Amino acid sequence: MPQAPAWALLSAPPRTQAPAPPPNLRSPRAPAPPLSRPRGSDGALGLETCTALVSEVISFPVVQLHLNRTAMRASQKDFENAMSQVKLLKKDPGNEVKLKLYALYKQATEGPCNMPKPGVFDLINKAKWDAWNALGSLPKETARQNYVDLVSSLSSSLESSSQVEPGTDRKSTGYETLMVTSEDGITKIMLNRPTKKNALNVEMYHEIMHALKAASKDDSAITVLTGNGDYYSSGNDLTNFTDIPPGGVEEKAKNGAILLREFVGCFIDFPKPLIAVVNGPAVGISVTLLGLFDAVYASDRATFHTPFSHLGQSPEGCSSYTFPKIMSPAKATEMLVFGKKLTAGEACAQGLVTEVFPDSTFQKEVWTRLKAFAKLPPNAMRISKEIIRNREKEKLHAVNAEECSVLQGRWLSDECMNAVVNFLSRKSKL
Ligand SMILES: CCCCC/C=C/CC(=O)SCCNC(=O)CCNC(=O)[C@H](O)C(C)(C)COP(=O)(O)OP(=O)(O)OC[C@H]1O[C@@H](n2cnc3c(N)ncnc32)[C@H](O)[C@@H]1OP(=O)(O)O
């Protein structure tokens, strides 16, 4: 089930209303929204108002901007122009910036935060409240000026950084969150959300499953999973927890457990040699899955971190079974229960990583080796993998089911909710 991209968190349409049309369906000449917003029936700024507000800030009509850069104080006209300029940004500025824009807008138009603090489960409004409240008694004029300055800096920085990294625009594969290539007998699945440290959002879970199913049937001899940018992956995208369906958090947790079980099942059942090329730090589920890979090559820059207890969560990816077997129960406990972060060398000594390479020669050395492996007879490799792995498969599926069921409960816990809220709101303190 496709989900709104993570960046849409703050502009997601309210669940109780028809979704706002995407920007390209809006009339470019639509009138600007008024600067003061209605309040909810409880007197607080409602979810609808908050989301609509940010959505509208992002969706203003196209108006030519001529900011008076020499003026010490932004005029009302500058402010309105800046709101229009936001619409012109070609690249989404990210939630942190959207929160800043939201907070400054509220401060400039309404003054200091005067709403009651939203509840802990109301993640989006809590993040907004935090951002606005953090402005304290900042005068309206200063907030207005800061808003204008922020938009101005965004306009230049996002324009200049809009160049896509080499190779990251390969949409020919049809994937939004991955780059998938197939050559020299190797299908390479590259996690491709480098600005989010390759965090796995819902779309990425689905795309990885799709890519694995395709790779299991294609002509390649081996399949490789790696990351684009400085991270291998920062694990589950914590904003996955924010898009609550009409059935509430229980339905969210249930859907998450179903998706996770299917996702991990694809790794358990993958028939060809599956190799992880761990190009940088790995967190959470990107670490636990490594126990289901046939070989793991790591840069010496990589680290391996499973902070499940810190997040109020519990192990997945069959790691509650594979890690104690790979590295001893005590070492597995240090990682999975106490969240000890391992260096690549330590992970290699524990048997989680097959070999570590200096970062400077990592790509060259690893790919030379993989190309040699890919020349081996594919059927022999597949059959050998089968005989190594098959007698464990049933057990692994049972472990997977149990882990998902336990996690479903953890996701509803205060411990987990608090940890997620802390992460999401950490940067909204301006
Ligand atoms: C279907 C559901 C299945 C669920 C399966 C469960 C799995 C369990 C896990 O995977 S638990 C692990 C979850 N991951 C984390 O807890 C990591 C959270 N991220 C961090 O701690 C840090 O971001 C970091 C240490 C990975 C990197 O820190 P650094 O300071 O170098 O970089 P930034 O924090 O500025 O990150 C850059 C932007 O990327 C966003 N981001 C990074 N990781 C995540 C993530 N896991 N979820 C959501 N967003 C992430 C970060 O917010 C920055 O975005 P911004 O530029 O818009 O602010």
C-alpha of residue 134 to centroid of ligand 1, in Å = 22
Strands (E), 331-399: 342-343, 355-357
Written as six digits, the tokens of 108 are 């400039």
> What values do phi and psi take at 272, rounded to 5?
-100, 165
- Eight-state DSSP code of residue 64: -
* Sign of torsion over alpha carbons 65, 66, 70, 75: negative
Nearest CA owner, ligand 1 atom 20: 234
Question: The whole model's pTM is what?
Answer: 0.68
User: Hey, what are 183's tokens?
Assistant: 């050559």
Closest-CA residue, ligand 1 atom 26, reads: 234
Cα torsion 296, 319, 401, 279: sign: negative
d(CA 424, ligand 1 centre) in Å:
9
CA 91 to chain centre: 17
Helix, strand, or coil here: 186? Answer: strand
Q: Using a 6 Å CB cutoff, which residues line ligand 1?
A: 94-96, 196-197, 199, 205, 234-240, 256, 259-260, 283-285, 307, 311, 313, 316, 423, 427
Question: Could you tell me the CA-to-CA distances from 71 to 106, 242, 257 in Å, in that order?
Answer: 22, 40, 55
What is the structure's pLDDT at 173? Answer: 60
C-alpha torsion 298→169→21→36, nearest 10: 70
Question: In which order are the strands placed within the sheet that holds 342-343?
Answer: 282-283, 303-305, 342-343
In angstroms, the CA 101 to CA 85 distance is 12
Can you give the pLDDT at residue 428?
56
pLDDT at 276: 98
Provide φ and ψ at 253, rounded to 5°.
-65, -40
* Res 110: pLDDT: 92
**Phi, psi torsion values for 110, nearest 5 degrees:** -120, -10
Q: Which of 3, 197, 233 to mutate to test the pocket of ligand 1 (most atoms within 8 A of CB)?
A: 197
**Beta strand 282-283 pairing with 303-305:** parallel
Could you list the pLDDT tens digit for every one of the 430 residues in the chain?
A: 333 322 223 333 333 333 333 333 223 223 333 323 333 333 333 333 333 333 333 332 222 222 233 335 678 888 888 887 777 776 677 777 788 889 899 999 999 999 888 877 777 788 888 889 888 888 888 888 888 878 877 775 544 323 333 443 333 368 999 999 999 999 999 999 999 999 999 999 999 999 999 999 999 999 999 999 999 999 999 999 888 888 899 999 999 999 999 999 999 999 999 999 999 999 999 999 999 999 999 999 999 999 999 999 999 999 999 999 999 999 999 999 999 999 999 999 999 999 999 999 999 999 999 999 999 999 999 999 999 999 999 999 999 999 999 999 999 999 999 999 898 887 653 3
- Distance in Å, CA 100 to ligand 1 centroid: 19
Distance between CA atoms of residues 34 and 58, nearest Å = 14
Q: CA 197, CA 233: separation in Å to the nearest integer? A: 6
As to burial, measured by CB atoms within 10 angstroms (0-12 exposed, 13-18 middle, 19+ buried), residue 31 is: exposed
Cα-to-centroid distance, 145 and ligand 1 (Å): 31
Ligand 1 centroid–CA 7 distance in Å is 13
- Residue from 98, 191, 234, 336 to probe ligand 1 pocket by mutation (most atoms less than 8 Å from CB): 234
For CA atoms 389, 350, 324, 211, give the dihedral sign. negative
Q: Quick one: which atom of ligand 1 is closest to the CA of 259?
A: 1
Q: Counting atoms of ligand 1 from 1, which one is nearest the CA of 285? A: 10
CA distances to 53, 408, 413 from 120, in Å: 21, 18, 12
Q: Looking at ligand 1, which atom is closest to the CA of residue 423?
A: 18
Residue whose CA lies nearest to ligand 1 atom number 30:
197
Segments of 249-334 assigned E as strands: 274-278, 282-283, 295-299, 303-305
The rounded Å distance from CA 254 to ligand 1 centre is 22
Give the nearest ligand 1 atom to 256 CA.
Answer: 1
Please state the atom number of ligand 1 nearest to the C-alpha of residue 310: 16
CA distance 191 to 8: 20
This model of the complex carries an ipTM of: 0.99
Å from CA of 103 to ligand 1 middle: 23
How many angstroms separate the alpha carbon of residue 258 from the centre of ligand 1?
Answer: 22
